[in-house]
C-alpha cells in the first residue's frame, strides 16, 4: 500500500483549520519545541488575521 501525505496532513494546514473551526491553541497535538508545533501555531495565529468573517466593508 502506498501512503502519501497530503497538504491537509501538514501541521500548518491543521493549525489553520483548528482556528477556523473554533478550536483553542491548546488543542495543538504536537510536542513543545518541535518544528511541527511551531508551524501549527504559526498557521493558527495567521488564520486569525485572515478571517473574512471579521472583516467589515
- On whether the CB atoms of residues 47 and 39 are closer than 8 A, the answer is no
CA gap 34, 20 in Å, rounded: 22
In b/e form, how buried is each residue of 25-55, taking b as 16+ CB within 10 angstroms? eeebebeeeeebbebbbebbeebeeeeeeee
* Reported pTM: 0.75
For residue range 2-47, what is the model confidence (pLDDT) as tens digits?
567 677 789 999 999 999 999 999 999 999 999 999 999 999 999 9
- On whether the CB atoms of residues 25 and 41 are closer than 8 A, the answer is yes
Give residue 53's pLDDT.
Answer: 57
The count of domains in the chain is: 1
Coil, helix or strand at residue 33: coil
Let me know if residue 13 belongs to a domain: yes
Let me know if residue 1 belongs to a domain: no
Let me know if residue 30 belongs to a domain: no
Per the structure, the complete domain to which residue 40 belongs is given by 9-20+35-47
Amino acid at each position: 500500500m502506498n501512503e502519501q501525505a497530503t497538504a491537509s496532513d501538514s501541521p500548518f494546514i491543521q493549525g489553520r483549520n483548528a482556528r477556523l473551526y473554533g478550536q483553542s491553541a491548546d488543542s495543538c497535538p504536537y510536542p513543545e519545541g518541535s518544528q511541527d508545533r511551531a508551524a501549527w501555531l504559526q498557521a493558527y495565529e495567521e488564520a486569525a488575521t485572515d478571517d473574512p468573517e471579521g472583516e467589515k466593508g
